[in-house]
Amino acid sequence: MSLTNLLDLLPAEIESLMESLGAPRYRARQIVDWIYRKGVTDLDRMANLPRELRLALAERACVDVPVVERRTPSQDGSQKFVFRLGDGARVQSVLMPDGDRLTLCVSTQVGCGFGCAFCLTGAMGLERNLTTGEITGQVLSAARSMTTSERITHIVYMGMGEPLANYQPTVRSLRLLTDPLAFGLSSRRITVSTVGLVSGIEKLAREDLRVNLAVSLHATSNRTRSRLMPVNNGFPIEALLAACRRFPLPFRQRMTFEYVLLDGVNDSPEDARELARLLRGIRAKINLIPFNDWHGAGFSRPSLPRILAFQQTLLERGVTATVRWSKGEDIGAACGQLSEAVVA
């Protein structure tokens, strides 16, 4: 029988596991505390558990944390982690310091099946979904490799893969990140980015999670969006924005729209005006992401004046728009540059 990875279980499920082993439920709290508070993943080192329980547990479960295979610092202070998973697959996370924030960008799939034309992860295709524990394990593993004074304050689901296409493990990982017994992060400090999977957005709207949502829009006409993002054939702009309008935003929170700027493709003044018009009535802010190049991409980044003009047009129309200069470009860790060969 294969062992259950305790990182795949919510605290309540570890309680049930304890019951099934004939142990009191409060033992689950102790285990969760060892893993998420103390960073101890070796069952033998969980000193306040009776020896018999540790032995019985070891026959049923383990704590399988992604192994840091490489850690590459960038000149801008960010770091790329390459994790090796149990089956040899690799995923990446990027740690980005910004003032007193320390944000970890996590992956939800090995590769991605959505094939957005500008994205290197998309060019890999989908290898497989990550499990809950492989998603939260990136946070745990990165946190364990940091000094005691450093602490991850924010999580963004913007690494490899489409979170809402791996729905259950993504939602369960969000529950663990926000569970006071586990990571205990505020849901306001977590952002899930989606390619615009309307069915997934609607499902997420019905969860009691209250995390931030970022939507990859990237174009103002269906013609251009379908060319850039095949998902638009199933979920065109009108359907996507209608789902965004229905999404229950927490008090004073705004939805983020990501817009990658591609020279001569979606960066005209008319595009900027149309973008402002499309988002009317949505509590939105726009993240403009100048395209990050990769070999063979076939797109280029607009000139700086053109980027700033696009932003200015939005600002003049009362739309909050920031330019996100990606971190880690020199180490292949910027938005859309994540890719890894699959097996060693």
Binding status of residue 335 toward ligand SAH by CB under 6 A: yes
Give the 3-state secondary structure of residue 196. coil
State which residue, 162 or 267, has the beta carbon closest to ligand SF4: 162
Regarding beta strands 126-129 and 154-157, do their DSSP bridges make them parallel or antiparallel, or are they unpaired? unpaired
Cβ neighbors of 237 (< 8 A, separation 6 or more) are 217, 219, 220, 221, 222, 225, 278
Q: Site map for ligand SAH, 97-136, x if CB under 6 A? A: -------------------x-xx-----------------
CA atoms of 107 and 156, how far apart (whole Å): 9
- Choosing from 195, 240, 243, 286, the residue that interacts with ligand SF4 (CB under 6 A) is 195
Task: List the interface residues with ligand SF4, window 133-162 (CB under 6 A).
Answer: 161-162
Token digits of residue 269: 């003044």
Q: Write out the binding residues for ligand SAH, residues 217-256 only, by CB under 6 A.
A: none
- Give the chain's radius of gyration (CA, Å): 21
Nearer to ligand SF4, 91 or 116 (CB): 116
Rounded to whole angstroms, the Cα distance separating 105 from 180 reads 21
The shares of helix, strand and coil residues in the chain, as percent rounded to the nearest 5, are 40, 20, 40
Q: Which does 335 bind (CB under 5 to 8 A by kind): ligand SF4, ligand SAH, none?
A: ligand SAH
Give the nearest distance from C-beta 311 to ligand SF4 in angstroms: 21
- Contact partner, 289, from ligand SAH, ligand SF4, none, Cβ < 5-8 Å per class: ligand SAH
Sequence-ordered alpha helix ranges (H) in the chain: 11-20, 26-32, 51-60, 120-124, 132-144, 167-178, 198-205, 222-228, 237-246, 269-278, 304-316
Contact window for ligand SF4 (CB under 6 A) among 44-52, 110-118, 204-212, 313-321: 110-118
Whose Cβ is closer to ligand SF4: residue 92's or residue 216's? 216
Which segments of 284-342 are extended strands (E)? 284-290, 320-323
Residue 336 is a binding residue for ligand SAH (CB under 6 A): yes
Q: Does 292 bind ligand SAH (CB under 6 A)?
A: yes
What are the structure tokens assigned to 190, written together? 């977590």
Among 5, 74, 121, 138, binds ligand SF4 (CB under 6 A): 121
Amino acid at 314: L
289 counts as binding ligand SAH under rule CB under 6 A: yes
Task: For residues 281 and 323, give the distance between their C-alpha atoms in angstroms, rounded to a whole number.
Answer: 22
Is 114 an interacting residue with respect to ligand SF4 (CB under 6 A)?
yes
Q: Residues 6 or more apart from 179 whose CB is under 8 A from it?
A: 10, 11
Instruction: Determine if 122 is a binding residue for ligand SF4 (CB under 6 A).
Output: yes
Number of residues this chain uses to bind ligand SF4 (CB under 6 A): 11
Determine if 261 is a binding residue for ligand SF4 (CB under 6 A): no
Structure-token pair, residue 98:
């910004």
Among 103, 136, 166, 194, the residue binding ligand SAH under the rule CB under 6 A is 194
DSSP state letter for 285: E
Instruction: Return the number of the residue (65 or 158) whose C-beta is nearest ligand SF4.
Output: 158
Three-class secondary structure of residue 255 per DSSP? strand
- The least distance separating ligand SAH from the CB of residue 330, rounded to whole angstroms, comes to 14
Q: Is 65 in the site for ligand SF4 (CB under 6 A)?
A: no
| Number of residue whose CB is nearest ligand SF4 | 122
Residue 257, interface with ligand SAH (CB under 6 A)? no
> CB–CB of 141/66 below 8 Å?
yes
Separation CA 137–CA 63 (nearest Å)? 10
Chain residues binding ligand SAH by CB under 6 A are 116, 118-119, 158, 162, 193-195, 216, 258, 260, 289, 291-292, 335-336
Chain residues binding ligand SF4 by CB under 6 A are 112, 114-116, 119, 121-122, 161-162, 195, 216
